């Protein structure tokens, strides 16, 4: 598994603060961030205002419409990036995101594991072992 190639491909997709988390030789674990640009935040605000009858920036508006829109956007984009990476590098990958919060919604944090296609590894097992 070419770890440098994986990092290079993720960096090319403008994912930020890519950090390797040591686990074992068979599994490559990375933490990284998807940063939202202004147009994505504006789109999330517009969506939340259109779909919600709540006051903009209220707790319900944020938790039920604004933050889920941003989370889905990040998950969809990172999912596409990971699929492309798997095809190009012939590795298997699993990933998960952490929930956004109202105080810090400029980015979405992800953890991803990469391993040979024939390994049967679950991300939950790795996260538990790393106490994440």
Ordered by where they begin, the domains of the chain are: 3-129 (3.30.70)
Residue 89 CA from chain centroid, whole number: 19
Would strands 91-97 and 16-24 be described as parallel, antiparallel, or unpaired? unpaired
Contact 52, 64 (CB under 8 A): yes
Query: Mean pLDDT, to the nearest integer, of 6-20?
Result: 96
Share of the chain residues as helix, strand and coil, in percent rounded to the nearest 5: 45, 30, 25
Looking up tokens 């106490």 gives: 131
Query: For residue 6, how far is the Cα from the chain centroid?
Result: 15
Residue 112 main-chain phi, psi, to 5 deg: -135, 145
* Both tokens assigned to 121: 């590894």
Asked if pLDDT for residue 117 goes beyond 90, the answer is no
Instruction: Count CB-CB contacts under 10 A for residue 16.
Output: 11
pLDDT of the residue at 93: 96
Over residues 29-75, the pLDDT tens digits come to 999 999 999 999 999 999 999 999 999 999 999 999 999 999 999 99
Report the pLDDT value the prediction gives residue 2, as an integer from 0 to 100. Answer: 92
Rounded to whole angstroms, how far apart are CA atoms 63 and 38?
19
Q: Is it the case that residue 118 has pLDDT exceeding 90?
A: no
Cβ atoms of 79 and 93 closer than 8 Å: no
Cβ-contact 17, 32 below 8 angstroms: yes
């Amino acid at each position: 598994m070419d770890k440098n190639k994986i990092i290079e491909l993720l960096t090319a997709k403008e994912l930020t603060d890519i950090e390797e988390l040591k686990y074992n030789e068979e599994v490559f674990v990375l933490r990284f961030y998807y940063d939202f640009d202004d147009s994505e935040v504006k789109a999330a605000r517009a969506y939340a205002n259109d779909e919600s009858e709540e006051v903009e920036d209220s707790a319900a508006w944020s938790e039920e419409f604004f933050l889920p829109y941003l989370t889905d956007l990040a998950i969809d984009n990172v999912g596409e990036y990971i699929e492309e990476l798997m095809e190009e590098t012939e590795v298997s990958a699993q990933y998960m995101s952490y929930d956004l919060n109202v105080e810090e919604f400029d980015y979405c944090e992800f953890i991803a594991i990469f391993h040979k296609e024939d390994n049967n590894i679950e991300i939950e097992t790795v996260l538990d072992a790393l106490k994440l």
